[in-house]
Amino acid sequence: MEYHNDRFVDASLLIFKNEKLIAVFPANKVENTVISHQGLTYGGLLFDSNLKFNHVLNIFKVVLKHLSDANITTLGLKLLPNIYASSPNDELKYLMFILQAKLERRDVLSVIQLSEVVKRSKDRKEGYKRGLKMGLVVKEEQQLKTFWKDLLEVNLKEKYKTKPVHSLEEIQQLKAVFPNAIRQFNVYYNHVLVAGTTIFETEHVAHSQYISGNQDNNKLGSLDFLHCYLIDTVFKDKRYFDFGISNENAGKNINSGLLYWKEGFGARAITQDFYSIQTNKHTLLDAVLL
């Protein structure tokens, strides 16, 4: 998180038992609220899979009491989507029920389970065939500058009047630190860059963090061709391929065109929840275990 530490007031916590680190809670502070870190796409309480439910309960109770004692009235928590966990991890979801937490937001991620044979739509199949016919070539590149400057930043500015969450300098810094986890795949037509995606790779998931194509995307089928190749070849041994969210307006709306494109590959919905918790309610956790 150091690459953007100037944007946030860090309030991350380390939780110890008998001087041994057993959990980490990445977070930042906004006034009298601590938030599951806003600089991270996926967050929550991080702990070893060997910890049992009672340990997780006690850890979260200690976190809430610590924040309450420090005059932090509210904790904003985003839960980790279950596809990113190495083992089942709904302990916190249950604790949200006990703590009477308020569900503030729910995002929809479009995900393909790669162990299953999924049916692609006619549009996605035809897009792939166009790319094949046009002789498109997919290459993994170590440099991100061409994609960032020639496609991604230009398209986001023209279509949405916005910028990528990561600047070129930030994504380059991240890739330098995590060279195997951030991968760039570009599509070329007659040696000219026409589309690309930046993949964030974890043990079980390949996630398209940034996707962009030029104005000839529909004619060339470049993004369809690219993602069929990634799903069928590069990441076929992963558990999941995650296209990310199609939400707008803090989760209340969905970009239907974007969702239609993702579902055309066979992607289906999973959710990520965002809660607000009153820290003084930590006492509600005292009577859970009988």
pLDDT digits (tens, 9 = 90+) for 35-66: 999 988 777 899 988 999 999 999 999 999 99
> Which of 14-28, 41-55, 182-196, 257-271 has the weakest average pLDDT?
41-55
- Say what percent of the chain tops pLDDT 90: 91
Residues in a beta bridge with 23: 15, 47
pLDDT digits (tens, 9 = 90+) for 123-148: 999 999 999 999 999 999 999 999 99
User: 215-218 long-range contacts, Cβ below 8 Å, gap at least 24?
Assistant: 216/189, 218/127
Taking residues 90-103, what's their average pLDDT?
A: 97
Residue 5: pLDDT above 80? no
Count of residues in the chain: 290
Instruction: Give pLDDT, residue 205.
Output: 98
Predicted confidence band of residue 86 (pLDDT cuts 50, 70, 90): confident
Taking residues 9-17, what's their average pLDDT?
A: 96
Domain ranges, ordered by start, for the chain: 2-106+272-285, 116-238
Instruction: Give pLDDT, residue 122.
Output: 98
pLDDT digits (tens, 9 = 90+) for 246-289: 999 999 999 999 999 999 999 999 999 999 999 999 999 999 99
Indicate the fold that domain 2-106+272-285 takes in CATH: Aminopeptidase (3.40.630)
Predicted confidence band of residue 160 (pLDDT cuts 50, 70, 90): confident
Same fold, 2-106+272-285 and 116-238: yes
Taking residues 153-174, what's their average pLDDT?
A: 93
Residue 6: pLDDT above 90? no
Classify 116-238 by CATH class.
Answer: alpha beta
Calculate the CA 237 to chain-centre distance: 19
